[in-house]
Structure 1
Amino acid sequence: MRTLAALLLLILAALRPVPAAAHALDPGFLELSAMDAAQWRVSWRMPDVNGRPMPIVPVLPDTCQHTPPPAPAFDGRAWVTSYIATCPEGLAGATIGIEGLARTRTDVLVRYELTPGAAQTQRLTASAPSFTVPVDPGHGAVFASYVALGVTHILEGVDHLLFVFALLLLVRQPRRLLWAITAFTLAHSLTLAAATLGLLRLPSAPVEVVVALSIVFLAYELALPPERRDPVSERFPALVSFGFGLIHGLGFAGALREIGLPQSDIPLALLSFNIGVELGQLMFIALVLTIGYMARRMAPVLATHGARLSRLSSYGIGTIAAFWVIERIAAF
């Protein structure tokens, strides 16, 4: 598996858009907050593309009326506007969509309330730019929606994937690797639940810095010969991954707080999101192991350069993570 480290690192680096194009790949966000039985406050957030709002427009049900929305204002990352919509027949059973989304590479998260405080979410993509609001969402719809959101979040979270990737390179024995991954999953599940339920709350900015620092630590350990590595990380990798998993869980919780939870199904939504995160993580691990297996079969000679490629990968991982540390501290 180590023989493919450099190649997989390049793939991970490519997943993180360069600054000039990053905003074009950011998701849009549409929120419909119920004010009463017939009025909704519509908050609309459009990704930035070369200094202009992405040309996508929310399409509300035909029965809704609203005045022309104010011109969007740039908040430093995206373009935002808000207005009041009157929908005498409500939203249940109606169709909500995003005009122009099919021509983009982004997606839009829709958060809506049928009644005040009863939030639901739906993710729209280029292939599915609209949806029909269910009259009664039910437990199945909540489960499917939040599992999909969890999978999407982890697969778009390159920093979390880079941590898992570094862990795969650092821990060579399959049994110890299994325990390390399990410990990481358990830890981020605990802090995700605690932070989302309001039992634990930390500012997101320092949390994101520590997430990046955890990757720097693994990269440093990976660059050292096994006999010079930290005794704790070498003998008890599960303990190290558990500790850093607690911090990564707080990072997941920040995203979940932005999405919101349905007040009537908080435990189910939280469990579903966590399952989605874990499914996305397992998908990534399976991809890495599959590519590694195929490479060993197709080019056995690469095995003779495993140590050199491993060290090269550690430098690449550490460089990317160190850049994130500086970038996130500068954003305080």
Structure 2
Amino acid sequence: MTGNRKPQRAGVVAAAERLRGHVTETPLLPLAWQGRRLWIKAECLQQGGSFKLRGAMNRLLQLDDAQKAAGVVAFSSGNHAQGVALAARQLGIAATIVMPHDAPAVKRDATLAAGASVVGYDRLRESRESIGARLAEERGAVLVPSFDDVDVIEGQGSAGVEIGRQMAALADGPPEMVLVCCGGGGLSAGIALALPDAEIVTVEPEGWDDMAQSLASGAIVEVGKDAPPTRCDALQTTRVSPLTFEALRDAGARGVAVSEGEVQAAMAFAARHLRLVAEPGGAVALAAALSGRAGPLPARTAILVSGGNVDPAFYAEVIRANPAPFEVAA
């Protein structure tokens, strides 16, 4: 379906309209911070616990009857898996998801509960892309990538359409800056297309900031083989897509990285001050704002909390270990 197409703003606007009634319009929450009001886009409250339903649903809604009958295959550490599984169940399509053996149990269990079949793999020794492509070919199924797909990118951009509309109503104008959690870049690229007048800042965990390095160098840079361990499993993409990189490069986006400690402090902050459950990968943009890593924040800044699918035991540990994360200044 993608072919030689490139994601476009018109496609994002069309996706936002197509998705009406299929995805939740998530709230935009105000946050008083250092004398200004920031705006938090709570995609952790999306169906499936992350923004991923948007891209998956936009892709599946455009399948023809024969493709729907053949089913879909996807590969994911968890959030895209749930997005595809939920979209497939809603549309009556069989789904098979390739997931790493070490994926958080909460994500694997939710994917199975949504009716998808799961095929496990070793992320250190096997290629999920190869496994997914083989399964799709064997079954005649449609492969649904997590970010390297025009329809997926444009579907993710529907969150940006909502941000623009919500901030116009609540903040007296569109966002000047948007901080976005970034793995493969589907969400950040889609939002860059939706909000062309805003500065887009991608945020990744330290050592996994290949999008930031790619944007700084002007060419795609892969994650090093010595990348450190991270709890941000949703953002462990080793190489971004030309589609997402080019959209962000053309938008003049820049990227920053945050530490594991800053991520966990942001998770605890979200719980205490926003009443939001944020997983590590879903909290990196908030961490960049609260820690100062993103630099000065303009008057109208939007921040994505992109997912909330976190292991309960680890989450409880994070809350206990961060009794007073950051300080709130009204």
What TM-score, normalized by structure 1, do the two folds share? 0.27
Larger radius of gyration, structure 1 or 2? Answer: 1
